[in-house]
Structures are given as C-alpha cells and as structure tokens.
Amino acid sequence: MRRLISLVSVTVALVGLGFVLVNATTVDRRPPSVKSISLSAPAGDPQVAQVLSAIDIEFSEPVRTATAESRFRIDPDVDGTFSWNGSTAIFTPSRKLPQDTTFTISIASGVEDLAGNVDPVGLDVWTFATVGPPFVLRATPSDGASGVPLDGTIELVFDRLMDTTSVERAISLAPSANVTAAWSGSVVTLSLGPGLVPGTVYTLTVASAAADTGGSRLRAPYRQTFTTVGSGLNVTAVIPADGVAGIGVASPIAIRFDGPIDPSTAQSAIHVTPSVDGEVRVVALDGDGASLSNPVPPGGGDMVVLIPSAPLAPHTTYTVTLDPTVARVGDPKAVTIGRTWSFTTGAPTQSGQNQIAFLGARGGVRNVWIMNPDGTNQRELTVELLPVSSYDATADGARIVYAAGGIVSTMAIDGSGLKRLTADDGRLEYAPALVPGDQWVVVARRSASGDDLGYWLLPMPGTSGSERQLLARGAPPPDSVSLRGDGVDQTDSTPAWAPRIAFEPTGRTALLVTARGDVQVIDIRQPDLLEGGLSAPTQVSIVGDAAPVWVPARNAFVLAAAPASGGDRTLFAVGTRGRAEVLAGTMGAAGPVAISATGALAYVVRGADGRATVQVMARDGTITAIESLAGRDDRWPAFAPDSRTLLVGRSLVAEPNLSDGIWAVDLPTGQARRLTVDGARARWVP
C-alpha cells in the first residue's frame, strides 16, 4: 500500500513538473508591434482619405489599450475617439477632416501587450492626405458636343461616390427642359426629357451645392454645353474659319457636321478657288488621340477634310464652296444646305527671332500663332485639327515642340520637318517642355487605356539616347480637347495639359508641378551625364497649380503656391534641395510667374474684389501693380527680352472664358497697347 502511495506521489509530481516546463516554454516574451495602418474610407488610393475616414491601427497582438492610445499622435492635430476590435485600434475623428491636407501619424515606443511586454520602437511616421473637393472626372458626350439626340443621355462620372439627392437638386438645363437621373456608383446618367428643340445649344449645370457622401461640395459649378441634332444635317464648324487672315500654308480644309455623314456623298462636295488638289477624307476627330490616319469608327465620321497635296499659296484668299449634297449616314433625306466661305493665307515664318507666339482659335481650332512685337503680321504656325494645348520653342527660335489632342510633335519655325514624337501606340502625351540645350523634352504621359504614367524625358530628333521616366504619377487627365476656344479658363492656374516646369540653367535639375498639384524637385540629367542613375524626386511641402521660373539671383525656383498644410497662396522660393521659403509681400500671388533679364518677377494677384491684376517685383523687392482696364482681368505675364515691355493677356470679368486679347505694357510709362483681339498665353520666341 505504501509503495502504491509512493508511486502515485511520484506520478503527480512528474505531471506537475511537466506543466511547469510547458508554461516555462510558452511564456510570452515578445513585445508588440504595429502590424499595419489603413484608412477606413480610402479615396481610390490607400493613402488618400475621404474626409469622413477613420484610421485603423492593427497591432501584432492584443495590447493594453491605454498605453497605445496615449502614444498615438496625428499632425495636424485632430480630436477623436478610440474604439477597439481585438488587436486593432480604430481612431475616429470627431468631425470631418479638412480637405486637401496631408497628415502624419506616429506612435511612440512604450505600448504594452497583455503580458507586460513593451514595444521599444513604435511607429516613426505614416503619411496620408485627404481628398480635395469632388469634381466631374469626365462627361459623355463631352463639352461642346453636337448632334445630341433629343431623347439622348448625358453621363457624368464623378471622382467619388456622391450624395445623389444633393447632385440631382443641383442639376439644371438651360433652356429649361426635364432631366431624369439614374445612378450607378459614382456615375449619373441623365436622360433628356421631352421638350428639347432640334439644333439648339443647351447648357447643363451642376451647381456647387452638389456634395459627395462626406458632405464636401464642388469647388465651383460644373458646366458643359451640347447642341441637339438638327432637323437635317447642319454644319457646326468650318476650318479655316470664315474671313480669317494669316492661315498657315500647310492647313487642311475641313467641315464638321452635327452627325456622322455618308462618305460617298462628300467626296465631290468641296470646291476651292483657286483650285486646290488633294485627298478628301471623312474622319472622326472627337477626342484626344484622334488623328487623320485613324480608321473611321463604325458609326461614321462627322468631318470632311481636304488635305492639300502641296502647300497653299502664301498671301492668297481662297474661297470654299460646299455643295448641298452631303447626307447623314443612314438617312439620305437629311442633307446639309450649301454654303460658301473664304480665308486668306499668311506666309511661312523664316525666323522666330524677336517674335511673339500665342495660342489662338481664330482659325476655327486653337493653334500656335506668331506675330511681330508690334502686333503686325499675325500668322498661323501650327495647323492642327485638334486643339493645341501647349507649346515650347528652342533657344534659337528655330523649332517648336507642341501638343495637340494628346500627341506631341515638333517642327521647324517655317513649318517644315514636322515630326511626331508621341509613339503611335495609343498613348497620350502632354505639356512638352524643352530641357536647356534643346536636345531633350519632358512630357506627361497616359497609356492607351488612360493609366497615369507620370512624366518622361524624351530625346529630340537627332539626339541619341532612350526615353526615361522621371515621375511615376501626376500626368493630366486624357481630355485636353475639353479646353475650349483660345484656352482661357476661369482660373489663374496653368492648365494641367501645359508645362508646369522650370529648369536651372545646366538642365540637371527641374522643379515640376504635377497635374495633381504636387511640387517636386527632380533630377533631369541627360544620359551622357548620368553617374549611377537619376536621384529620387524631392517632394516640396507646398501645393501648386502653375508654372514656376528659375531665378538666378536667388539660386532657386519661384512659383505661386500654398502650404501643403493649408493657407493662402503666395510666392515661394524653392532651392534645388527642395527647401521652400515665402517671398515677403506676395500674399495672394497666383498663376505662372515670369522673370525678366534683369531679375524682375511678374505674377498675378487676386484682390478682395476678385479682380486679377499683374504685379511686378523688382530685384530689390519693390512691387509695382500694373494698371488694368475696367471689367478686365490681367493674366499670363511674359517679359520682353529687353525687360522694358511686359505682355499680359486680358479676359472679361463678366465672361472669364473669353479672351480680350494680348496687350503690351511699357513698364517705364505704364502705357498699354493692344496687340490682338483674341489669344492667350503669349511669350517671346525664343
């Protein structure tokens, strides 16, 4: 019996020892750590938040909540509360986050798990940004569309989910007509109701009261126009436009209709006097990426184009007659009426020296025009059928590079040597800017499917080397044709499809403002100078929307921008290492900055009355305001080579999308003289 008791005692002891050994080997001695951080309501990017987003912080194991909450920091500071789901802390702001703001999150060391182990590292920093106001990403049909069926639809794609009720209340049509809305995610399809009048221009407006699901409203009302289909077949545009002088001798002759046409009825319908031989094509040029070589879509083209087989004669008036025989596809009874118009050619430009270039749509499509400094001899330089969105010129004025409908091309100043730089694979490229030395050009790129491919460095013709990516993201949306007329919009910014870049004199470093507003210092060294590859871009903690300049006296770039954390716009000087400093006395500065040969800066300031005026800051810091005309906004300053004359573009306050011409201001006297009645974004060439 005693032996049995002894054996039982030994057995119990061994079992107890086993439990001790097991516990000894399974005691938790590992400290907790931050496993991941995420946004509860991202805006299409894991580090871009909706304004009502919470922040989820997942730890590697359950922790003592108080030790984590007390070590959590968010900058700028945000009030909020914590809730927990197992090992995940959920920080919910007590009110909406501010728009267009960059936040950093950190967690100090010292977080404890349930076993008392302490995290010795914490989280150094995690960054996210909030979205800006919602906007219409694209519209189908696009702004200015013609031939819209009376029972058709308009599709608006917003950049995020919207408060459908607020959007529908904000929608109006003028002249008044019924519109019904149907939603699918962020897309609203507007069905046009009965009562629309054939051949009528309508304006669709989405008022700024339209809000997203977080309550953020549109920054400004969205507007687009469309023309309903006519009772027959109507001409909506002729190119070159009627009565215009100075047309380029390489210009095609085109007629756009309000619907697809039967090609067989168009081949012999155009007559030109004096006679012009050439090829007649029916094409569809309805958006970025379209070209005369593209196949006509199954539904047919809406434009008849006569492509001359030889240059037109200079300084000659041509008369074009359209026979009343062109018919709509599938409806031979829908025939256009005949019409006649005329235009006059200019002469090829032999030199760009001491010339002024500008964008103008007087010929029917926005192209690059050029003129003498006194405004005489205005003539068309490019002859594209899709609008030119931007251009640049070589230092000697011998060549230009430009983008039209998402295709970048280059040509000599006399119109010869036209060469397409954008590969013919469906990609779209914008905002060409020549690097000092004129052997390389920076472009923004979108893929054939519209993906953002950032910014690229391309060799110019005759330059050896391969293209290379400079920035992975930030290209403008694939819709440069949406910028109508002369390219004047309602803001002071540089359009996203135009260059927002400046180079220091060697061409090794540039400051680039992306279409998203990011300001980056980038290494743009040319291949023969590379040693170990390009260095990484430097993000500057400001937000911009206009072109910068290089200022030698400051050894820095200067641009109009706002702090990334929020605040008013002003001029910033940005060094080549990305350090930004405010220029005193420039509060309210906006738009592209110009620099003179003497180091003076010119920029736009919006006053308390909303008027835009140009100010000139001398090298010593003295600021002079340029006197404007009543009812006008002054924009897009550009200095003459002698620094005595300043070009400004004027637009009407009552109609901000309408140019009131390009003016030359004599700086010593303040006297201004008008050079053109239209046009925008003038500059001296070279």
- Tens of pLDDT, residue by residue over 23-48, are 444 577 899 999 999 999 888 789 99
Indicate the fold that domain 34-130 takes in CATH.
Answer: Immunoglobulin-like (2.60.40)
Cβ-contact 625, 637 below 8 angstroms: no
Domain ranges of the chain: 34-130, 136-228, 235-345, 355-685
User: What is residue 265's DSSP assignment?
Assistant: G
User: For 408-441, how does the pLDDT look when each residue is reduced to its tens digit (9 = 90+)?
Assistant: 999 999 999 999 999 999 999 999 999 999 999 9
Same fold, 136-228 and 355-685: no
**Torsion angle, CA of 552/557/560/565, rounded to 10 degrees?**
-140
Residue type, 597: A
Select from 98, 75, 74, 72 the least CA-distant residue to 83: 72
User: For 128-168, how does the pLDDT look when each residue is reduced to its tens digit (9 = 90+)?
Assistant: 999 888 999 999 999 999 888 878 899 999 988 999 999 99
Q: Copy the structure tokens of residue 326.
A: 């062109």
User: For 435-467, how does the pLDDT look when each residue is reduced to its tens digit (9 = 90+)?
Assistant: 999 999 999 999 999 999 999 999 999 999 899
User: For 627-656, how does the pLDDT look when each residue is reduced to its tens digit (9 = 90+)?
Assistant: 988 889 999 999 999 999 999 999 988 888
Residue type, 137: L
Rg (C-alpha) for the chain, rounded Å, is 31
CATH superfamily of 355-685: TolB, C-terminal domain (2.120.10.30)
* CATH code matching the domain that covers 235-345, chosen among 1.10.630.10, 2.60.40.3710, 1.20.140.10, 3.40.50.1000: 2.60.40.3710
Question: What's residue 26's pLDDT?
Answer: 56
- d(CA 485, CA 527) in angstroms, rounded, equals 39
pTM above 0.85, yes or no: no
Count CA atoms closer than 13 A to 189's CA, side-chain side.
8
Confidence of residue 534 (pLDDT cuts 50, 70, 90): low
CATH top-level class of 136-228: mainly beta
How does DSSP assign 610-679, residue by residue? S-EEEEEE-TTS-EEEPP--TTEEEEEEEE-TTSSEEEEEEEESSSTTSEEEEEEEETTT--EEE--SS-
Confidence of residue 358 (pLDDT cuts 50, 70, 90): very high
CA quadruple 276, 281, 286, 287: dihedral sign: negative
